[in-house]
Amino acid sequence: MTSEVSVPPASVVLVSGGSRGLGLAIVSDLLAAGVKVAAFARTVTPELTALGEKYPDQLYYGSVDINDAAAGQAFVKKVETTLGPIDALVNNAAIGQDSLHVHTSADHLAEIIQTNLTSPLVLTRFVLRRMLAKGLKGRIVNITSICAQRGYPGLVAYSATKGGMDAATRSLARELGGRILANAIAPGFFASEMSAVLGPTQLDQIVRRTPTGQLTEPDDVLPIVRMLLLENTNINGQVLVVDGAASI
Ligand SMILES: NC(=O)c1ccc[n+]([C@@H]2O[C@H](COP(=O)([O-])OP(=O)(O)OC[C@H]3O[C@@H](n4cnc5c(N)ncnc54)[C@H](OP(=O)(O)O)[C@@H]3O)[C@@H](O)[C@H]2O)c1
């Protein structure tokens, strides 16, 4: 006998930063699972365009800077008229950092905090207000990082933003009273444009310190995203670490 589903599986998912790296992998995976997906980034890549050609009725995408709140809100409204009401949000877009705190300008600090913390919270607020006004139940998945839980040089502001999103996830889960499930996924380091600053020596070091002996892959994160968006699990307000126990 199947148990009653209190929050139904997501049917229209908005993914920020869906043009490459983990975001693109999430978009592709959800489309293959039959979900309608909206994705944006500042630059639309050929890979995202190709997915649009493969799934013309399921994918809506465009060029939006998450720091331009008005553009983000216009995009959300366009998604709703094209795909239907958004009932899930994956906050994935972020920028990295590769500078010691003492060498990071105040402007750069502000840019990291704006892009990785303030703008995702503004977008979340906008999407949530529309979901609640429509009486929808739904899901939020924040992609954070192991950097929020362990220290890494060169990533002070970045780590602060990811810790901020982890904390926001817990309070959102409380505020939303189970009507909208809010969770975070904290991956370990994986190869992408963001982590390209890590040299082979640093990557080897991470692998050596990882009990599973494997660097995290975006593919390792996909089943967790799918579970949090589509399954009936009663997981709420949690940060799920996917790093092969590198941080343990
Ligand atoms: N790579 C890692 O080792 C690692 C580890 C743990 C957690 N994470 C987290 O995983 C997520 C994905 O990271 P990734 O490694 O896949 O990064 P990535 O390859 O650099 O992709 C980042 C995505 O975010 C978009 N983006 C960045 N700034 C944006 C802005 N202002 N407005 C709209 N979109 C923007 C990028 O597109 P545009 O630049 O064209 O806008 C791109 O689509 C991030 O939240 C990251 O913090 C990464």
**Ranges of each domain in the chain:** 12-242
Is any atom of ligand 1 closer than 6 Å to the C-beta of 118? no
Is any atom of ligand 1 closer than 6 Å to the C-beta of 73? no
Q: Whose CA is nearest to atom 5 of ligand 1?
A: 189
Is any atom of ligand 1 closer than 6 Å to the C-beta of 198? no
How many degrees, rounded to 5, is the angle at CA 82 between CA 81 and CA 87?
75
CA distance 140 to 90: 6
Spans of the chain, pLDDT less than 70: 1-5
Distance 115 CA to ligand 1 centre (A): 10
- Say how many Å lie between the first and final Cα of the chain, rounded: 38
Q: Whose CA is nearest to atom 34 of ligand 1?
A: 41
CA distance 36 to 190: 26
Distance 4 CA to ligand 1 centre (A): 36
Is any atom of ligand 1 closer than 6 Å to the C-beta of 163? no
- Output the pLDDT for position 200: 82
Distance 33 CA to ligand 1 centre (A): 22
- Output the pLDDT for position 158: 98
Which mutation among 22, 124, 215 tests ligand 1's pocket best, with the greatest number of atoms within 8 A of CB? 22
Is any atom of ligand 1 closer than 6 Å to the C-beta of 23? yes
Distance 194 CA to ligand 1 centre (A): 6
Known active-site residue 55: no
CA distance 39 to 67: 15
- Output the pLDDT for position 1: 45
The three-class DSSP label of residue 88 is: strand
Q: Which fold has domain 12-242?
A: Rossmann fold (3.40.50)
pTM above 0.75, yes or no: yes
- Output the pLDDT for position 5: 52
C-alpha torsion sign, points 50, 37, 41, 247: negative
By the 8 A CB rule, do 59 and 34 touch? no
Neighbour-count burial of 28, counting CB atoms closer than 10 A to its CB (0-12 exposed, 13-18 middle, 19+ buried): buried
Neighbour-count burial of 135, counting CB atoms closer than 10 A to its CB (0-12 exposed, 13-18 middle, 19+ buried): exposed
Q: What percent of the chain has pLDDT over 70?
A: 98
- Output the pLDDT for position 184: 99
